[in-house]
Amino acid sequence: MPRRPPAVARVLTQVTGTVRRHELIAPGDLTLVMVSGGPDSVCLLYSLWHLRRLLRNHLAAFHFDHRLRRDSTKDADYVGRVCERLGVPLHIRQADEQPPKGASVEAWARGVRVNAANDVRREIGAVSLAEAHTVDDQAESVLINLFRGTGIEGLAGIDPGGHGSVWIHPLLDVTRADVEAFCGALHLRPRRDPMNEDRRYLRPSIRHDVLPFIEEATGRDVKASIARTADTLRRDRDELWQATGRTYLDIAEESGDEIRFRAAGLLALSEPVAARVIRFGAYQALSVDAPAPWTKAGIDAILDLARGRPGRRRDLPDGRVASRDRTHVVVARADHGGHTDDHTDDHIDG
């Protein structure tokens, strides 16, 4: 067997370590790889293809055409040639509509791509969806979430995934420089998306302006340090999440699409822990999209009701209603009526 170029061997070693450390892929798994045609996703596909016998799993590829550029079909053509060369089945989907007026193009693009990929995953029976996020992406994501004020959940960055996870990130310990070296060593010619260079979008601006400025000012490569910080915070978050879950079971009851928080139980907790319990309930039972009851405004409204008298109610940012009966704060859809045991005119917009 010919010896692999050092750049290729380095990435394969890193990917193998990440997969095994986080138990991302089990023998016999069918993994659906997200392949845009760019350097990161092509590196991911080739890496998992090279490691398929070692990991004893099966591969399929997914490509989504957002139709945001006139030449976007060339990306699909390129991915098709790559998959044909490797003998990997390819599934292609495309956007049926353009982004709504005023919507974030980045958020819309990810949303439609994720939904389509999940549909294909279920259709073909794939265990997981592999995305090509790197160390650099991790650092960018942490800074984006810092600027958005998302708290520990956002600062924990991209989760590598694990046993039973739908989304896995095998390149999360690989730098973008190593990706480029990998592609160069194998004489690959990935596609280049001009949106990744467009500083009107937040991520490219952080990538090309903010991070280089920080590195020039500090005289060091900060991306790995930021990624390590995210890893530490992610472990803290997971421990807090487990403790929060135990507390939630003590003071909350779920009934269909409704949650009842025992008011005295919330008030016995410190405010940060109480806020985390409310957020946990929103994730576990309400299954709503942002803006949602775990926004600061929603959490403050629920805590205010717990402290107040029965009969009050608050409108939450997502259209739900929180109401206070004699013993509980009840969070329900507005069409449930938000009824309480004592009706008053004390209606306050959240």
pLDDT tens string 217-246: 999 999 999 999 999 999 999 999 899 999
Neighbours of 202 (CB within 10 A): 16
- For the stretch 168-193, pLDDT in tens is 999 999 999 999 999 999 999 999 87
Question: In this structure, what token pair is assigned to residue 165?
Answer: 């996870």
Cβ pair 170, 48 in contact under 8 A: yes
Looking at the DSSP bridge assignments, the partners of residue 32 are: 60, 129
CATH topology of domain 256-348: 3.30.465
- For the stretch 108-146, pLDDT in tens is 888 999 999 999 999 999 999 999 999 999 999 999 999
- For the stretch 74-111, pLDDT in tens is 999 999 999 999 999 999 999 988 888 877 888 888 89
- For the stretch 310-330, pLDDT in tens is 999 998 876 789 999 999 999
Cβ pair 223, 143 in contact under 8 A: no
CATH class label, 6-227: alpha beta
Among 217, 195, 236, 225, smallest CA distance to 69 is for 195
What does the pLDDT read at residue 83? 98
Tell me, what DSSP letter sits at residue 2?
P
Is 256-348 the same fold as 6-227? Answer: no
Neighbours of 183 (CB within 10 A): 21
Q: What are the sequence ranges of the domains in the chain?
A: 6-227, 256-348
What does the pLDDT read at residue 335? 64
Among 242, 316, 331, 239, smallest CA distance to 285 is for 331
17, HSE (Cβ side, Cα atoms, 13 Å)? 9
Q: Which residue has the tokens 């979008």?
A: 201
Looking at the DSSP bridge assignments, the partners of residue 34 are: 62
Task: Please check the confidence at residue 287 and state whether its pLDDT lies above 70.
Answer: no
- pTM given for the model: 0.81
- For the stretch 24-65, pLDDT in tens is 999 999 999 999 999 999 999 999 999 999 999 999 999 999
Cβ pair 77, 50 in contact under 8 A: no
Cβ pair 55, 33 in contact under 8 A: no
List Cβ neighbours of 149 (8 Å cut-off, separation of 6 or more): none
What does the pLDDT read at residue 85? 97
Residue that wins the pLDDT comparison between 200 and 243 = 243
Q: What percentage of the chain exceeds 70 in pLDDT?
A: 91
CA 144/CA 138 separation, integer angstroms? 10
